[in-house]
Structure 1
Amino acid sequence: MPHSRGKGSRPAYRLYILLLLFLLNSLSYADRHLFSILIPAVKAEFGVSDSLLGLIGGPGFIISYVLCSMPLARLADRWSRRGVLALAATLWSAATAACGAAANITQLALARFAVGIGEAGGLPPSQSILASLFGEDRRSAAMGVLASGTYFGLILGLVGGAAVAAEWGWRAAFFALALPGFPLALLFWFTGPRRQRQDVAPGAGREGPSFWASVRMFWNIKSLRLIAIGVGTFNIFGYAGAVWMPAYFMRSHGMSIIEAGAWLGMGSAIGGIVGSIASGAMVDRLRVRGEHWQLRLPAIAFLLAFPQNVVMFMMPGGAGINLGGTHIPAVAMVTMLGGFLAACWAGPSFSAAARLVAQSQRAQATAMLVVIINVIGSMIGPSLSGFVSDMLMGRLGEESLRISLLIMSLLTLAGGMLFWRASTHYARDLAAREVI
């Protein structure tokens, strides 16, 4: 794909925008994951059940995220990707601050709902901007770097949030992570790339296909549909883990809030960062041998995730090694491998979606993926795992969450098989669409 003239074609500017998008994505996920490390403190103050906290951590956030993703992506494709992203970052930062100011559980739930609205406008325009700035030979790698912000955000949310909460309380943690979003949003508003003429499909007209026509068109691309369902199925477990893993570390492995945040954050994030960046770079090299490798590599990673999760959830509490006087929990080391495997889908998948649709529809295609992934994953995972944990509590006590998460991890196999199926259709879909 030829790059546009002007500053958008300069390598230094492309790297600057990639860095800025990476920071915004990191902050978005930090705000999202912060809630999970604060669950024990919120539960203690408001006296609510695991089931209710699971609803707030899952559906309470995801309903607004899902409802707003496609409309905001459509606005980004037709108005301004830069403007939508800057306004979205401002909103999710303000809503995160409102979480810290909540006087009761209802206000906290409403604030989390607002965080979901803001974050719905983050990823689709970011992916669309990168797809326009980077050619096919580097696109998966660039999107892998963007995806690695998920795991930097995990460190920031879990480790940073835990540290602030331990020193000044859980409300201060929300305030601390809300603040950086405002200057970053302002910076992107003034320096982000403007829409170029080639970003609009020739002859598409100002309105283009209707909302539902676009949805039907994306859904009819079989590999795109299977990517969405595959990741969504995998993430029934993935999103359950995002909300409940800190509590699992504390309940089953005897960690404090600081220890759980630090070990989970470092283990998941190191693996996730390496997995995001490496998978994108590997796919850019492997797909010259066959387009199916664009999706075959994530399929293999998902299938390998199940045995890794069995090891992680069957591991006895307190197991680990002593290194230089420091006890390193074995569960944290296994979590690092889990983070690597779970991260291998994002860069290759979003890059595949960008190739399967017209340039003027990329934000919407990304949003459709995000919506389906979250409807299947986030709407079900956190609340279901909390419900199963409550059901097992009478028999298993503090170990109920361990078994709940182990059961949920079976879904990683289903996600891998769906991705494998998608890889068998990808080359044909790419040829049929005849897009760059």
Structure 2
Amino acid sequence: MITTSANDDTNARTDYSVSRARAWFGFAMIFLLMMSDYIDRQIIVSLFPHLKEEWGLSDKQLGGLVSVISVVVALGSIPVAMLADRFGRVKSIFVMASIWSCATIACMFARSYGQLFAARAVVGLGETGYGSVGSALISALFPKRLHATLLGAFFGASSVGAVLGVVLGGVIADHWGWRAAFGAVGFPGMIMALLFLLVPDYKNVIVKIAPTVDSGGPGAHLSRMFKTLSRGPTMWVLCIAGSFQMIVVSAMWSWMPSFFNRYHGMPTATAAKYAAVLVLMGAFGALFWGWVADRVGRQRGANKLLLLSMTTVLTALLFITAFTAPMGQTAQFILILAGGSMMTCTVGVSVSAILDVTHPGLRSTGAAVHAFAINLFGLAVGPFLGGVISDHWGLQTALSVIPAAGFLASIFYWRASRSYEADARMAAELVRGAEVQAAAQRDVDLGNLPKAQA
């Protein structure tokens, strides 16, 4: 006879995998570390004027200090997530946060562009896989009805972190120099990394990939893993769509402080505060559009992807109008804020959809494939491309052209909506099969126990 505890009954009734209190503590820590992640990423953008003055850097070089993190995150996201799926998410995140915090502190001691570039690359090494592993942890701890909302809030934390990074960087640099800014944000990250060890993890699901006659070598194993990961096209199309939209987001986040400084004559600290309002609007937007997606997707899951197809077009139109149409500073700022409230609409919803169509034992890896794509082909492209265009034709031209990537994102989100439901059904069948197999294994295990224990 199989018995369950009162705690198990409570979890079953609420669809939480652990007690409600432990789940929400876990979410709080995941949220705070995402803030730390983006504080450390984005603090550099408010320091651009100081670095340009001290070292005589070009906009392309400045953009590279942002893009290098996304490149490193992209290259390491899949292997790190595969290790986390097998060896545990909580310990993996503790190691990640410790590395990126120490590397941020090391930026204080850079004496050349090359040294700072290398330290920023190590920040990216630490942040590798955090978004995907954190997403999988949220997906496991909370009921599905909350996934898009909580993932929207989780990725909205990146906007909050970016706001704090931009504001803190501008204020601290004006008072104590740009080096002090890195230390001010690096040490709190170390404390949060230690506290994360108290977060509950979920039990690993080991995915056994059957070998074939020609299965020799790591390449063949990787090929079989990707075939197991997702049986349909939705995940891959979402990776393309998300990449185009992240080009827009990363360009705006990276270059708005410089835009306000150069075109509106604002001091660096003031420009950072104006840019921070834009990023903060993105944080609210990620949460709001995740909430909307959860509701429009209740009757038909594909509706949440159709929603993204519309919001990405509106984002592009708002930004293009703001930087091309003749208008006053106030009107331009209002349009920029409107675009900022919509540009992060995709972050939580895309990951939620990918988790819906991914093999249950490879969810961290599925989210990591998405992270790989949006970091390498989206977040890494926006700042660098903005710098290249700015060096040749001016920063305002760069900010006028880059938002057009949202039109391409819209097309691919529409395409993903066509295949989403069929792929989600296949993934759901895998989940049910895994549950049946686990139940059968429990019966076998109990049958092998002495009767007194059974």
Decide which of 50, 54, 61 is 1:45's aligned counterpart. 54
Q: Distance in 1 between matches of 2:352 and 2:416?
A: 14
Letter in 2 for 1:242: W
| Partners of 1:253 and 1:318 within 8 A in 2 | no
Question: Structure 2 length as normaliser, TM-score?
Answer: 0.85
Q: Distance in 2 between matches of 1:285 and 1:411?
A: 27
Name the counterpart of 2:446: none
| Partners of 1:305 and 1:341 within 8 A in 2 | yes
Q: Distance in 2 between matches of 1:160 and 1:204?
A: 48
Name the counterpart of 1:152: 160
Residue 69 of structure 2 corresponds to residue 61 of structure 1: yes
Name the counterpart of 1:283: 293
Residue 283 of structure 2 corresponds to residue 273 of structure 1: yes
Letter in 2 for 1:408: I
Shift of 1:219: 6.7
| Partners of 2:209 and 2:224 within 8 A in 1 | no
Structure 1 segments unaligned to the other structure (5+ residues): 321-329, 393-399
Decide which of 136, 139, 147 is 1:139's aligned counterpart. 147
Q: Distance in 1 between matches of 2:231 and 2:247?
A: 24
Shift of 1:341: 0.9
Q: Secondary structure at the match of 1:288?
A: coil
Residue 205 of structure 2 corresponds to residue 194 of structure 1: no
Q: Which is worse superposed, 410-419 or 352-361?
A: 352-361
Shift of 1:91: 0.4
Q: 1:202 to 1:307 in 2, by over 3 A?
A: closer
Letter in 1 for 2:267: S
Name the counterpart of 1:96: 104
Name the counterpart of 2:131: 123
Residue correspondences, number? 412
Q: Which is worse superposed, 60-69 or 178-187?
A: 60-69
Runs ≥4 in structure 1, deviation > 3 angstroms? Answer: 2-8, 201-205, 209-212, 215-220, 315-318
Shift of 1:72: 0.7
After superposition, the C-alpha distances for 1:323-352 in whole angstroms (9 at most, x for unaligned) are xxxxxxx44433322222112112211111
Q: 1:72 to 1:287 in 2, by over 3 A?
A: same
Letter in 2 for 1:248: F
Residue 78 of structure 2 corresponds to residue 84 of structure 1: no
Shift of 1:162: 1.0
Q: Secondary structure at the match of 1:404?
A: helix
Name the counterpart of 1:230: 241
- Percent identity, aligned pairs only, is 29
Q: Which is worse superposed, 293-302 or 112-121?
A: 293-302
Q: Distance in 1 between matches of 2:83 and 2:207?
A: 18
Q: Distance in 2 between matches of 1:63 and 1:267?
A: 24
Q: Secondary structure at the match of 1:200?
A: coil
Q: Distance in 1 between matches of 2:419 and 2:223?
A: 24
Shift of 1:176: 0.6
Shift of 1:7: 9.5
Name the counterpart of 1:327: none
Q: Distance in 1 between matches of 2:73 and 2:43?
A: 17
Q: Distance in 1 between matches of 2:325 and 2:167?
A: 23
Shift of 1:268: 2.5
Name the counterpart of 1:364: 365
Q: Distance in 1 between matches of 2:257 and 2:229?
A: 36
Decide which of 423, 428, 452 is 1:429's aligned counterpart. 423
Shift of 1:34: 0.9
Residue 313 of structure 2 corresponds to residue 303 of structure 1: yes
Q: Distance in 2 between matches of 1:347 and 1:379?
A: 19
Letter in 1 for 2:25: Y
Q: Secondary structure at the match of 1:246?
A: helix
Decide which of 9, 33, 39 is 2:42's aligned counterpart. 33
Shift of 1:432: 2.9
Shift of 1:216: 4.5
Shift of 1:24: 0.3
Name the counterpart of 1:420: 414
After superposition, the C-alpha distances for 1:257-284 in whole angstroms (9 at most, x for unaligned) are 1111111112321x22222212222222
After superposition, the C-alpha distances for 1:199-225 in whole angstroms (9 at most, x for unaligned) are 4157669x9x94443335447631111
Q: Distance in 2 between matches of 1:155 and 1:284?
A: 26
Whose Rg is larger?
2
Q: Distance in 1 between matches of 2:19 and 2:295?
A: 23
Shift of 1:8: 5.0
Q: Distance in 1 between matches of 2:51 and 2:79?
A: 32
| Partners of 2:146 and 2:294 within 8 A in 1 | yes
After superposition, the C-alpha distances for 1:142-175 in whole angstroms (9 at most, x for unaligned) are 1111111011102111112211111111111111
1:399-410 alignment runs, 5 A limit: 400-410=394-404
Residue 225 of structure 2 corresponds to residue 214 of structure 1: yes
Name the counterpart of 2:193: 185
Q: Secondary structure at the match of 2:379?
A: coil
| Partners of 1:254 and 1:317 within 8 A in 2 | no
Q: 1:419 to 1:165 in 2, by over 3 A?
A: same
After superposition, the C-alpha distances for 1:367-422 in whole angstroms (9 at most, x for unaligned) are 10011112211332222221111112xxxxxxx10011211111111111111111
| Partners of 1:306 and 1:409 within 8 A in 2 | yes
Residue 360 of structure 2 corresponds to residue 349 of structure 1: no
After superposition, the C-alpha distances for 1:292-316 in whole angstroms (9 at most, x for unaligned) are 1121122211010111102321366
Q: 1:27 to 1:202 in 2, by over 3 A?
A: closer
| Partners of 2:253 and 2:279 within 8 A in 1 | no
Q: Secondary structure at the match of 1:86?
A: helix
Letter in 2 for 1:375: L
Q: 1:7 to 1:220 in 2, by over 3 A?
A: closer
CA RMSD of aligned residues (A): 2.3
Q: Distance in 2 between matches of 1:201 and 1:353?
A: 19
Letter in 1 for 2:152: G
Q: 1:297 to 1:7 in 2, by over 3 A?
A: closer
Q: 1:210 to 1:124 in 2, by over 3 A?
A: farther
Q: Distance in 1 between matches of 2:232 and 2:260?
A: 41
Question: Structure 1 length as normaliser, TM-score?
Answer: 0.89
Q: Secondary structure at the match of 2:298?
A: helix
Name the counterpart of 1:171: 179
